[in-house]
């Protein structure tokens, strides 16, 4: 009798205390919970910048080049996840091709500072333990996202800058890349035009080419990463949101993973990435699913556990609300988001955003202009 009472009490406590469940839960259009099997086993989203991106400003050839570059990055990250790799590995695999492409403002193809240099920023975060790494102002590291991750794993710090970050890279065995490798004629011309015509960075850039990726792996872990060259003509050691944990990058298994692109000063002021994840965590509500087999002893008679989750509509709404706050302050840009349920979403308050998403249910799409999405969680037509 005592054993039965103990089992019933333990089981009831599992419901009241919302015992954690290892896998994600998928919500349907009505907010009802499905079994774990209904959720995507993995999910990924990428971005390559947001801004004044319209068809009338691009040739068909340019559009095809960007779509191909986005697809290459998306496929690289998806391949890692499909083969059982971690979200952290997938994020880096997706970002590296974009850092290596002259089409984006990250790594090769980064914009120039006022002094005519390419200064690179990056950050990465693991949703399992919220460990993070970031670098800013590096000039000789080919793939800053890899250095950011090394800061996370092999240093006692989160954020390194300039010469210190370069010294750390050297001590960690990173090859020194000639700064000329990052330079492109197109970016030089943007700086020259800015200086000659006394323009702002907004006038010459038209878009923010920051790159990023967010992912959910088969173990239910989240990760986010972001890499950028900053803003054309930036001065005085300016740092934007991309390397700032909580502003341009954030990941927490309890809520979401976010990577941002846009006018960094405003994203820092709002704390965009963490703000979205915090609101999602607060808005999540209990759902009841079958407990894992090893949750209780063999004589347990109550086998329902609760998990917390958020619907795709709620996640989209929260993202749009935060981006609306950015707009109200005068900033623009966009974010990509993945939730523990496998929702891969975007939100942007610009004409377009270079983006893509894929999951284990077969979704695989890239898009450039507003209103192009076809899958669940389609953002509003901007």
Which are the catalytic amino acids?
210
- The answer to whether the CB of 236 falls within 8 A of the CB of 302 is no
Residues comprising the chain, all counted:
382
Pairing of strands 333-338, 344-348: antiparallel
- The answer to whether the CB of 223 falls within 8 A of the CB of 91 is yes
In 22-86, which residue ranges form alpha helices assigned H by DSSP? 60-82
Q: Which residues pair with 222 in a beta bridge?
A: 216
Cα separation of 105 and 264, whole Å?
14
Cα separation of 244 and 227, whole Å?
11
Instruction: Tell me which DSSP letter residue 51 carries.
Output: E
Q: Quick one: which of 162, 230, 240 has its CA closest to 190?
A: 230
List CB contacts of 67: < 8 A, sequence separation 6 or more: 366, 368
- The answer to whether the CB of 252 falls within 8 A of the CB of 295 is no
List CB contacts of 289: < 8 A, sequence separation 6 or more: 21, 25, 33, 35, 36, 304, 305, 306, 307
Cα separation of 35 and 136, whole Å?
43
- The answer to whether the CB of 48 falls within 8 A of the CB of 66 is yes
Cα separation of 93 and 87, whole Å?
10
User: What residue has token string 């390397």?
Assistant: 243
User: What residue has token string 């349907």?
Assistant: 28
Tokens of 123: 């950050």
Produce one character per residue of 150-161: b if its CB has 16 or more CB atoms within 10 Å, e if not. bbbeeeeeebbb
List CB contacts of 56: < 8 A, sequence separation 6 or more: none
**Angle between helix 87-100 and helix 60-82 axes, rounded to 10 deg:** 150
């Amino acid at each position: 009798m005592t054993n039965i009472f103990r089992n019933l009490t333990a089981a009831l406590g599992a419901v009241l205390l919302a015992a954690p469940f290892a896998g994600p839960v998928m919500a349907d259009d009505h907010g009802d919970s499905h079994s774990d099997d209904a959720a995507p086993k993995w999910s990924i989203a990428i971005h390559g910048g947001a801004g004044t991106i319209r068809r009338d400003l691009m040739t068909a050839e340019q559009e095809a080049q960007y779509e191909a570059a986005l697809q290459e990055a998306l496929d690289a990250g998806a391949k890692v996840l499909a083969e059982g790799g971690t979200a952290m590995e997938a994020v880096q695999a997706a970002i590296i091709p974009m850092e290596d492409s002259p089409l984006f403002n990250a790594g090769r193809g980064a914009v120039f500072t006022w002094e005519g240099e390419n200064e690179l920023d990056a950050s990465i975060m693991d949703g399992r333990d919220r460990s993070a790494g970031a670098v800013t102002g590096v000039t000789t590291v080919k793939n800053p996202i890899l250095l950011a991750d090394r800061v996370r794993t092999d240093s006692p710090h989160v954020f390194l800058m300039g010469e210190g970050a370069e010294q750390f890279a050297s001590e960690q065995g990173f090859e020194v890349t000639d700064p000329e490798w990052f330079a492109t004629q197109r970016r030089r011309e943007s700086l020259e035009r800015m200086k000659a015509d006394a323009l702002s960075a907004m006038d010459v850039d038209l878009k923010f080419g920051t790159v990023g990726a967010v992912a959910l792996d088969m173990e239910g872990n989240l990760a986010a990463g972001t890499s950028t060259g900053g803003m054309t003509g930036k001065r005085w050691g300016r740092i934007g949101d991309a390397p700032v944990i909580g502003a341009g990058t954030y990941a927490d298994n309890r809520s979401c993973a976010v990577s941002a692109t846009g006018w960094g000063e405003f994203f820092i002021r709002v704390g965009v990435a963490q703000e979205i994840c915090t609101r999602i965590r607060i808005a999540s509500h209990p759902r009841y699913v079958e407990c894992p087999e090893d949750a209780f002893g063999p004589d347990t008679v109550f086998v329902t556990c609760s998990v917390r989750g958020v619907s795709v509509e709620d996640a989209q709404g929260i993202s749009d609300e935060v981006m609306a706050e950015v707009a109200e302050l005068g900033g623009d840009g966009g974010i990509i988001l993945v939730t523990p349920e496998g929702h891969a979403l975007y939100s942007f308050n610009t004409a377009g955003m270079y983006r893509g998403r894929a999951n284990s249910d077969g979704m695989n799409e890239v898009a450039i202009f507003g209103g192009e999405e076809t899958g669940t969680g389609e953002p509003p037509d901007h």
